[in-house]
Structure 1
C-alpha cells in the first residue's frame, strides 16, 4: 500500500487526508501545533463561551463528494447546520452605517470633496495597467478617492506606508472591497455598470441588485452554513478530525519537519524533529513552501516580510446586541482600529449577546485595551450603552496578515515554483500556495489537485 504524508492540519489538510485515504492509501497527517484546524479552532473565555477566531462562515462547494465530507449528508446538514441563504453584511464609514454592502459610499464625504472625487472617477474611462495599489487606484478611482478612501483602508489593514507604490494592486484590499465604490445614485450606477470599465470600479447599492447580476451572468449565489452547536466553528473542526481519524488516517500533532529526503526526482522520506522517519510515496503540502525547501536544503527566496499582529476581542454581554440582522460588518472609519465585527447571535441563537471585533497592528504598536474596543462598539451603535460585560477574551496572534509588497509576492511565487519543480510526487495546495484567499476556493483547489494527481497515476 502506498503511503501519503499530509503536512498541515488545517481544513485543507484534513480534506486532503480524507480524499487520499478514500483512494486506498495509507495516510499520515503532520501538524506542528497541538491540534488540527488552524485559525478555524475556536477559543473560550473564563465562562466557557466559545468564540471563533474571526469571521469564518463556510459555503457549499457544489462538489457532492467534498460537501458530503465537509458538512455531511442532506439529513445531517439539516440536523447539525444552520443554513444561511444570504450573508448579511454592511460597512461603517464617516460615522454612518450602510447595511446593504461592504462597499464604501463616497457620497458620505464632504460635498466639495465628493464632487471633485466623482469627477475624477468619471473622467477615468479606460482600464489601468498599473501593478501597484496607488497607481491602480488613482487610474481607476482618481487621486482624491485614493487619498480619502483607499489609503485609510490600507492603513487600517497594513499600517501607514512610506511608499504605497510598493504594494501590489491585487491584494486583500480588493477582497475587502476598497477598490470598488458607490459614487452616484442607483439608476446612474446601473447604467454605468453596463460598461466594463465602470463595472470594475462601481459597487451595487443594494444586495438585491448584486443578486440580479449573478442571475443574469448565470452564477448561483452560494449557500452558507454555520454549526448549530454553541461551540461554533470548533464543532466543525472536531467533526472533521473525527471523520479523518475514523477512516484510518494517523494524525501526529506537535511535530516539526526536520528534513525531506529525495531519491532522484521523488521525495521518499519525511523526517520529524523527534527522529521518526516516515516513508513517503506522495506528499501533500499545505504549509508555507519555504519550510519544505529548507527541509530539502534548498536555497529559498528570502525577503524581509512585514507581518501584522491580529488583536481579536471577544465579548459576552448581558443584553442583546442592537444590530439584530447583520452576520458580520466592516468598519472603514478612521475613528477605530477595528476592521471587522462578527455578530454571532444573528446566525446562531445559542450564541446570543456574543460579539467579536478584530483589529490589526504592528508588533511594536501599543495594545488597545478591550475597554476601548467595547466603547468603540457602543459608539458605532452595535452595543447598548447600559450593557454589562459578563466575560471577554483578548487574543493576540502574531505573524498573520503579510504586508503585500512586490518583494513578498515575488518571493511567494518563486518559492512555490521551486517547490513544485523540486519533486514529481508533491501536491502544493492550501492558502500558502498563494493562489487563493477564500476558504471555499482553497478546498476546491485541494479537491481538484488530488483528483487530478490520482487520475494521472492510474
Structure 2
C-alpha cells in the first residue's frame, strides 16, 4: 500500500489528507498542537460562547470535489451554511466610517495634504517597478499619500520600521487595500480607472461599482458561506476532521516531526517526538520549509541564520448585553491612528444565532502585547459607535497568539522563495503548501493549489 504523510492539520492539510486517502493511500496526518484547524479554529469563553480566531468567511473554489469536501453537497448546503451574496465591509479613518469599501479615502485629509497628494498622484504617469513599498508608493500614489495614508497602516500592522524601503512592494498591505485610494468623486474616478496606470491606484467607491466592473470582465462574484452553528468556524473544522477520520486517515495530534529519513532524494520515513516512525512514500508539508530543511540528513541546508520578525496577534472577544449598532457589516477595518484595532468581526451579521458578540484584533510585538488592555479596546469599539455607550460586557475572552504574521521584508520574501525552491528541489516526493512558496496569500488559492498538486502527481481519483 502507498503511504502518504501530511504534516500540518490546518484546512489545507485536512484537504490534502482527505484526497490522498481517496487514492487508496494509507494516510497519517501530524499536527503539532492538540487540535487541528490552525487559525480557523474557534475559542470559547467561560459562559460557552464561541468566537472565531479572526475573520474567516470562506467561499467555494469552483472545483466540485474540493467544495463537496469543504461544504458538503451543493443541494444540502443551505442546511448547515448561511449564504452571503457579498461580504459587506468598510473602514474607519479620521473619525468617520465608510461602509461601502475598505479603501482609504484621501479626501478626509486636510485640504493642504489632499491637494499636494493629488498633484503627486496625477503626475506619476508610469507604472512603478520598485521592489520596496516606499518607492513603489511614492512612484504611484505619491510621497504625501504614502506618508499620511499608507505608512500609518504599515505601522498599525507591522510596527514602525527603521527603514520602510526594506519592506517588499508586494505584500499583505496590498491585500488590505492600502495601496489603492479613493481620491476623487465617483464619476472622475471611473474615468481615470480607464487608464491602466491609474486603475491600479484608485479603488471603487461602492460595491455596486465593483460588481459592474466584475460583470464587464466576465467575473462571477462568489457566494460566501458561514456556518449556521453557534460554534462558528469551529463547526466547519469539526466537520472536516470528522470527514478525514471517517475515511480512514490516522490523525496524530500533539506530536512534532523530529526527523526525515531520506534515500535517493526521497523521504522514506518520518520520525516523531513521541518515538513513532512512519513509513512515507509521499509527503505533503504545510509548515515553513525551513523546518523541513533543518531535519534533512544534510544539516547544512536551511542554516542561513536568517530569522524573520513575527508579529503577535491579540484577539479580543466580547459578548455584551446590547445589540450592536452596526447591523449590516460582516467585518470592518480600522485605519484610524486613534485605536490599535485593525480588524473587527461582527458576528450577528454573519449568524443571527450569535447575537451581541464582536471580536477586535490588534497586531503588536511580543512585549507590547502585555500592555494592551481589554477594557481600553472595548472603549474603542464604543468610541467608533459600533457598540452603544451603555453596553456592558457579559463575558469575554482574550487570545495572545505569538509568531503569527511575518513582517514582509524583501529579505524575508527572498528567504521564503529560496527555501521553498531548495526543499522542493532536494526532495522528489514532497509537495509544499502554496502558502510557503511566497506566491499565494488567499485561502481559496492555496486550497486550489493543494488539490492541483495532488492531482498532478496522482491523476484523477477514478484512474
Same fold at TM > 0.5: yes
The answer on 1:375 being equivalent to 2:379 is yes
The residue number in structure 2 matching 1:182 is: 182
CA distance in structure 1 between the partners assigned to 2:283 and 2:26 by the alignment? 12
Instruction: Summarize deviations over 1:361-415 as a string: whole Å, max 9, x none.
Output: 1112152211000110000010001011101111100011111111111111111
Moved more, 235-244 or 423-432: 423-432
Distance 1:276 1:129 in 2: 50
Q: 2-side partners of 1:392 and 1:275: how far apart?
A: 39
2:393 corresponds to 1:389: yes
Once the two structures are overlaid, the 10-residue window that deviates more, 245-254 or 292-301, is: 292-301
Of 349, 355, 358, the residue aligned with 2:358 is: 355
- Which runs of structure 2 are paired with 1:100-249 in the superposition (5 Å)? 100-249=100-249
Paired residue secondary structure (1:239): helix
The reply to whether residue 329 of structure 1 matches residue 332 of structure 2 is: yes
- Contact kept, 8 Å, 1:288 with 1:433, in 2: the verdict is no
Q: In the TM superposition, what whole-angstrom CA distance separates every residue of 1:149-192 from its partner, at most 9, and x where no partner exists? A: 00000000000001100000001111000000000011000001
Q: 1:55 and 1:233 mapped to 2: Cα distance?
A: 9
Hey, what does 1:338 align to over in structure 2? 341
Partner of 1:26: 26
Cα deviation for residue 285 of structure 1 reads 0.5
Separation in 1 of the partners of 2:105 and 2:327?
22
Tell me how large the CA RMSD over aligned residues is: 1.2
Runs of 4+ in 1 over 4 A off after TM superposition: none
TM-score by length of 1: 0.98
Give the number of equivalent residue pairs: 458
- Segments of 5+ residues of structure 1 without an aligned counterpart are none
Residue aligning to 1:419: 423
3-state SS of the aligned residue for 1:387?
coil
- Which secondary structure state, in structure 2, belongs to the residue aligned with residue 350 of structure 1? helix
How far apart, in 1, do the equivalents of 2:184 and 2:216 lie?
A: 22
Matched, 1:435 2:418: no
- Tell me which moved more, 381-390 or 303-312: 303-312
Measure how far apart 1:298 and its partner are. 4.4
- Label 1:298 to 1:268 Cα distance change in 2 as closer, same or farther (>3 A): farther
Question: Given that residues 286 and 433 in structure 1 are in contact (C-alpha distance below 8 angstroms), is that contact kept between their aligned partners in structure 2?
Answer: no
Q: Which residue of 2 aligns with 1:43?
A: 43
1:52-110: CA deviation from partner (whole Å, max 9, x where unpaired)? 00000001111110000000012331110000011000000000000000000000011
Report the secondary structure of 2:342's partner residue.
Answer: strand
Q: Give me the whole-angstrom Cα distance separating, in 2, the residues matched to 1:122 and 1:148.
A: 17
> SS where residue 403 of structure 2 aligns?
coil
Cα distance in 1 between the residues matched to 2:14 and 2:352: 29
Rounded to whole Å, the distance in 1 between the matches of 2:459 and 2:74 is: 28
* Superposition deviation, residue 11 in structure 1: 0.3
Report the secondary structure of 1:412's partner residue.
Answer: helix
Q: Is 1:5–1:28's contact at 8 Å kept on the other side of the alignment? A: yes
**For the residues of structure 2 that align with 1:309 and 1:283, how far apart are their CA atoms?**
30
Q: Report the Cα offset of residue 345 of structure 1.
A: 0.2
How far is the alpha carbon of 1:329 from its aligned partner?
A: 0.2
Q: Does 1:277 align with 2:280?
A: no
Tell me the secondary structure at the aligned position of residue 364 of structure 1. Answer: helix
Structure 2 residue aligned with 1:309: 312
Counterpart-to-counterpart distance in 2, 1:36 and 1:433: 22
For residues 219 and 367 of structure 1, what CA distance do their matches in structure 2 show? Answer: 45
**Alpha-carbon displacement from aligned partner over 1:312-332 (angstroms, at most 9, x marks no partner):** 000000100000000000000
Once residues 411 and 194 of structure 2 are traced to their aligned partners in structure 1, the CA distance between those partners, rounded to angstroms, is: 36
Aligned mates of 1:358, 1:102 — CA distance in 2? 16
Distance, in Å, in 1 between the alignment partners of 2:255 and 2:239 is 22
448, 452, 456: which one aligns with 1:448: 452
* In 2, Cα distance between equivalents of 1:358 and 1:409: 25
Where in structure 2 are there 5+ consecutive unaligned residues? Answer: none
User: Equivalent residue of 2:48, what SS?
Assistant: coil
Q: Distance in 2 between matches of 1:391 and 1:383?
A: 15
Distance in 2 between residues matched to 1:76 and 1:22, nearest whole Å: 22
Q: Normalising by the residue count of structure 2, what TM-score does the alignment of the two structures yield?
A: 0.97
